[in-house]
Structures are given as structure tokens and as C-alpha cells.
């Protein structure tokens, strides 16, 4: 629909309903009305995350930013000594979780470990 046609329809609707002739603004052109949220609104003036919170009956809270993590579509097969080494790192307090121990190992290079 062209801009001229849209303006004509808005003016005609205003004439029929008596409402002020304001230009139509798509919901996707509006920002979320939750204070501090910069995402685009999808429904009821809220972005998807805040709309979902509202529809579930929760109090609206700021949406957590996604961490800069990447999903790898890979399954790694490792020797048992690697798993034992990861578990030792967790027990020694060098890593809080298996995820963190794996991340540290990949950064350092598993080959740097002693068997």
C-alpha cells in the first residue's frame, strides 16, 4: 500500500469515526514501553519478552541480555583421562562446573595437560 493511499484511508477513517486523523504507526515501528527496554514492540506496546512475561501473569522485569556464547554442533569424543582431568580441576576448585572446566581446557589446549 502506498503512502498516499494510507494517508487517504486514515483521513477517511477519521471522517467516519470522528477520531483525530493521526498517521498509522505499525507496532514494529514502536519501541517497547517497558522502561529501559530498547527492543521493538510486537503486541500491546511490549516487546516479545515483556509481552510473554505479562501473558504468563508475571511482574515485568528487565530482559536478561544473552551471553556471548556460541553453540557448537559438535560432539567430542575424548579419552577417559581427559574426563578425569576435568573432574580433578572441579574438585581442586579451579573450575566451578564441567562446562567451565571444558572451556578452560579448550582455551589452554588439552594436549598441554599431563596424562
- Shared-domain flag, residues 84 and 50: no
Identify whether 92 is part of a domain.
Answer: yes
Q: Of 18, 39, 55, which residue sits at a domain end? A: 55
Longest dimension (CA), the chain: 82
Domain boundary among the residues 21, 39, 55 is at: 55
Residues 11 and 49 in one domain: yes
- In this predicted model, what pLDDT tens digit does every residue of 39-94 receive, in sequence order? 888 888 899 999 999 999 999 998 877 666 666 666 767 788 888 888 998 999 88
Radius of gyration of the chain from its Cα atoms, rounded to whole angstroms: 27
Please report the pLDDT score of residue 29 as a whole number.
Answer: 74
| Residue 67 forms part of a structural domain | no
Average pLDDT of the chain?
A: 77
* Domain span holding position 24: 3-55
Percent of the chain scored above 90 by pLDDT?
13
Say how many domains are in the chain.
2
In a domain, 12, yes or no: yes
Q: Out of 5-19, 29-43, 82-96, which region has the weakest mean confidence (pLDDT)? A: 5-19
Q: What is the pLDDT of residue 115?
A: 44
Inside any domain, residue 69: no
- Tell me what pLDDT residue 68 has: 63
Amino acid at each position: 500500500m502506498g503512502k498516499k493511499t494510507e494517508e487517504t484511508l486514515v483521513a477517511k477513517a477519521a471522517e467516519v469515526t470522528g477520531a483525530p486523523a493521526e498517521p498509522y504507526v505499525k507496532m514494529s515501528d514502536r519501541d517497547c514501553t517497558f522502561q529501559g527496554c530498547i527492543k521493538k514492540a510486537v503486541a500491546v506496546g511490549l516487546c516479545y519478552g515483556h509481552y510473554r512475561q505479562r501473558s504468563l501473569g508475571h511482574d515485568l522485569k528487565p530482559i536478561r541480555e544473552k551471553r556471548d556464547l556460541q553453540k557448537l554442533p559438535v560432539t567430542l569424543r575424548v579419552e577417559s583421562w581427559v574426563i578425569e582431568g576435568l573432574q580433578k580441576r572441579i574438585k581442586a576448585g579451579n573450575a566451578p562446573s564441567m562446562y567451565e572446566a571444558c572451556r578452560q581446557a579448550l582455551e589452554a589446549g588439552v594436549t598441554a595437560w599431563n596424562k
